[in-house]
Structure 1
Amino acid sequence: MVTPMDEENVQVHVPDAPSERSVQLTNFYRSRVRPLVEGWVPRGVRLHALRTITDASGLVRLSRSATTWPARHGSVRGTWLRARQAHASNGVVLHLHGGGFVFGSHRSHRVLAHQISRNTEMPVFLPHYRRAPEDPFPAAADDCLTAYRELLDQGIDPGRIRVAGDSAGGHLAACLLADLTRAELPLPAAVALYSPLFDLSCARLEEMDSTVRDPFLAPAATRLSCEAYLGETSPDEPRVNVLDADKTAWPPTLIQVSDSECLRDDAHRMAASLRAEGVPCELQIWPEQIHVFQAWADLPEAREANRYAGHFLRRHGTPEM
């Protein structure tokens, strides 16, 4: 299946300054949301409330032409989402949602999944992996590996599988690639990572935040979420320490991050480690955006970033003819 997207060399335009709409959104998060995040802890009533709110936020009306259906791959339940123009002959995307390992689900990330499906023209599977603190590491990582292996077991060629991940889902995506490498299993054709978190020690978050204050993420809350996920596991454990993983066979990778995020150093370090191993890696730094800005479909920057990410994932791989 050939579309106009295949025939053109799609370029990304990363603006020098944020749009007016982005400035408004960033100011709202900086003044209203960041103060709430400062005192948040990943347990009890606060965690339950956040899970409820984020899941409800994803239940917005999608395009009437979008199709969703529940599925189970092995022991992992989740949701498939397909935009109107998406077709499995182009391949499939396994999207690993963010939420600091403790919240987020196939419900909360439907809008971002729809953007991915629309721009890749592929169906997207959102697994509902187990979350901390009830199920700490390696539960989520194991679930993501199970979901991917089930796609292979269903006969889907790895050249037709792409992986995407946002925030903590970026770590799960990197962990998945490292797991596949160690197990000598076939890797996906390409990976796209949005505002990814890689270093679960959170060693440089305060330094980054003191230089440019993140309008959304608070380093202390991020650290607590990572600790909830790790449980008794050290962030230096080889399966957790994805920055030092063997990346020689990893597929082409796109990383999109904002220059105002406290996670921006994670993105730079991962890009450097990939390039050192000879892996094609594109690192895009977007000015003054909030964390995972791609989920805000009405932002000009989100439309541009999603358009390019879709093309990036689409041009790597082997669709059916």
Structure 2
Amino acid sequence: MAAGEKRKNIRLSEENVNFRMMNLIRKVHGMIDDPDIEKHRHSQNQVGALLGNQKDVLITPVKIKDMEAEWVCANRVHMKKYVILYCHGGGYSTGSRIYARTLTDKLAQSTSMDVLCFDYRLSPENPYPAALEDALKVWDYLMLYGYGARDVIIAGDSAGGNLALSLTLKLKEEGRLLPRGLVLLSPWTDLTSSGKSHESRKEVDPVLDEDYLNRMIQNYAPGMELTDPLISPLFGNFEGFPPTYIQAGDNEILLSDSVSLHKKLVAANVSVRMNVYKRMWHVFQMSPLKVSYEAMEKCAEFIYDICR
């Protein structure tokens, strides 16, 4: 067989595998997604409890200003100087520290750092700015706990990536010290949905669609100005921002949210890295796949670099 023909067959095989994987992810997500928001939240917690129950990590519950939170720690001798503050995703309407264990477990193991994840108030019961107010309370808790701003890395996925950015913008607005760095997984940065990928990726994204996003926007920021940087961080001023690392999937409608954020950070002279994973979907790092663990190792590499 000629080399060109062999490469073509390999490419077709990879595309076939990816097609099957996309269909599987679409089916799994369809089982979790539910118009009844309480059922949706419950299903997510079941997934998190099942897939996030790792023997290699210890989970310690904690209360922060009446918020449920938890420390996720590698069950071995590990670094205590730095800590990761994790903001879970879920469109600001669903998600929890339990659902986020599919990510916080991997992050704690790959970095050998303690991870603090918290249950901020959800919409539509508690629209903006409730989640941001809760994030500030957790930040203050860490400062009182003995950590300095430069000891903290803020991380988050999807809406949690939005919250990580909004929290940092709020700290900057208040003239406070900023975290050592940010790690953002498929961050939702633009609630105006102006990115080109909303159109170019709508047929291949197995997780998100415009109807879902519009429901989440209406829940979180009803009647509000969506270009407010604390609602859509993409419109913020990033001058003086800490080093930032972004991961996104090539098959997600929110790809432009990451690409545009990367461009704005570069323009503001922020030290920023981004990896776009081919054939991957929104927050693919949750999946129990080899590429998910490899992506978390990349997050760990970035964190190690900025903590030197």
TM-score by length of 2: 0.88
Greater RCO, 1 or 2 (C-alpha within 8 Å, sep 6+):
1
> What's the secondary structure of 2:68's corresponding residue?
strand
In structure 2, what is the equivalent of residue 94 of structure 1?
85
State how many pairs are aligned. Answer: 295
In structure 2, what is the equivalent of residue 122 of structure 1?
113
- Return the offset for 1:274: 0.5
Kindly provide the amino acid, as one letter, of the partner of residue 23 in structure 2.
N
Instruction: Tell me the distance in 2 between the aligned counterparts of 1:153 and 1:59.
Output: 30
Instruction: Tell me the distance in 1 between the aligned counterparts of 2:83 and 2:229.
Output: 29
Q: Any idea what the Cα deviations from partners look like across 1:41-69, whole Å, max 9, x if unmatched?
A: 4xxxx111111100111112633242111
In structure 2, what is the equivalent of residue 267 of structure 1?
258
Q: Any idea what the Cα deviations from partners look like across 1:275-299, whole Å, max 9, x if unmatched?
A: 1000011111101112111112x31
Mark the runs of 5 or more structure 1 residues left unpaired by the alignment. 1-15
Q: Any idea what the Cα deviations from partners look like across 1:155-187, whole Å, max 9, x if unmatched?
A: 202221111100110110110110010011111
The answer as to whether partners of 1:159 and 1:188 remain within 8 angstroms in 2 is: yes
> What's the secondary structure of 1:72's corresponding residue?
strand
Q: Do structure 1's residue 55 and structure 2's residue 54 form an aligned pair?
A: no
The answer as to whether partners of 2:83 and 2:153 remain within 8 angstroms in 1 is: yes
Kindly provide the amino acid, as one letter, of the partner of residue 27 in structure 1.
N
Q: Do structure 1's residue 304 and structure 2's residue 304 form an aligned pair?
A: no
- CA gap of 1:117–1:236, structure 2 versus 1, over 3 A, is same
The answer as to whether partners of 1:22 and 1:299 remain within 8 angstroms in 2 is: no
Question: Over the residues paired in the alignment, what is the CA RMSD in angstroms?
Answer: 2.3
> What's the secondary structure of 2:301's corresponding residue?
helix
Q: Do structure 1's residue 292 and structure 2's residue 283 form an aligned pair?
A: yes
Correspondences of 1:197-208 after superposition (within 5 Å):
197-204=188-195, 206-208=198-200
In structure 2, what is the equivalent of residue 133 of structure 1?
124
In structure 2, what is the equivalent of residue 69 of structure 1?
60
Kindly provide the amino acid, as one letter, of the partner of residue 97 in structure 2.
H
Match of 1:25 among 21, 25, 39: 21
In structure 2, what is the equivalent of residue 221 of structure 1?
212
- Return the offset for 1:257: 0.4
- CA gap of 1:36–1:148, structure 2 versus 1, over 3 A, is closer
The answer as to whether partners of 1:76 and 1:146 remain within 8 angstroms in 2 is: no
Instruction: Tell me the distance in 2 between the aligned counterparts of 1:245 and 1:223.
Output: 22
In structure 2, what is the equivalent of residue 258 of structure 1?
249
The percentage of aligned residue pairs carrying the same residue is 26
Kindly provide the amino acid, as one letter, of the partner of residue 314 in structure 1.
Y
Mark the runs of 5 or more structure 2 residues left unpaired by the alignment. 1-10
Q: Any idea what the Cα deviations from partners look like across 1:1-34, whole Å, max 9, x if unmatched?
A: xxxxxxxxxxxxxxx9969876543221245646
- CA gap of 1:22–1:70, structure 2 versus 1, over 3 A, is farther
The answer as to whether partners of 1:87 and 1:122 remain within 8 angstroms in 2 is: yes
- CA gap of 1:36–1:92, structure 2 versus 1, over 3 A, is closer
- Return the offset for 1:224: 1.2
Q: Do structure 1's residue 112 and structure 2's residue 108 form an aligned pair?
A: no
Q: Any idea what the Cα deviations from partners look like across 1:76-121, whole Å, max 9, x if unmatched?
A: 3311111124635241101100001111101111121010101111
- Return the offset for 1:36: 8.6
